[in-house]
Structure 1
Amino acid sequence: MLKILKTPEGKKFLIAVACVFIVAVCVVSKAAFQGVEDQYNLPMDTWDTSLFIIQGAWVAIYSFMFTIVGALPSGFTFSALKMIQNN
């Protein structure tokens, strides 16, 4: 498995996964933290530490899941490119 990631296609896949993760963290954190402020009319300076921890956990969970789902197309693309090049 690790041999596959050391190939040029594997490195491209890892870069794609990193990009998807960065985008997911940006979008999910904006939605989660801004959503609490807007929905409950609760500015961040009045939040307890536990609320930051809970929202951070949601951001981590959703970012991880969106990264898995978002990385699937790039994985198929790069593996298909390798199969085409081998034939």
Structure 2
Amino acid sequence: MGALKPWHIILVVVVLVLLFGAKRLPDAARSLGRSMRIMKAETKGLMEDGKEADKGDLAGKAEANAARTPLSGEVQAPAAPVADPVQRVNER
């Protein structure tokens, strides 16, 4: 049912020749080829940028972990709350 037969290809070629004319078909094919090359180059560039960003993220995390200073021996108690929420509700 979905098989591409030789007469399908011939029909497509005839329709293209009728629509664009025999003189414009080589230019259209050339333009399509350029567009495909540009798209391929851009997607390849995006893939490389993604890989470099992943490597940069890992290096940045390693540097951040190395730059941390160890905690000192002094530990401060947390500050007392300003008002206990339960008391505040009961006061109203």
State the TM-score bracket (shorter-chain normalisation): 0.3 to 0.5
Higher Cα Rg: structure 1 or 2?
2
Structure with larger RCO (C-alpha < 8 A, sep 6+): 1
TM-score for both structures, normalised by structure 2: 0.38
Q: Where is the helix percentage greater, Structure 1 or Structure 2?
A: 1
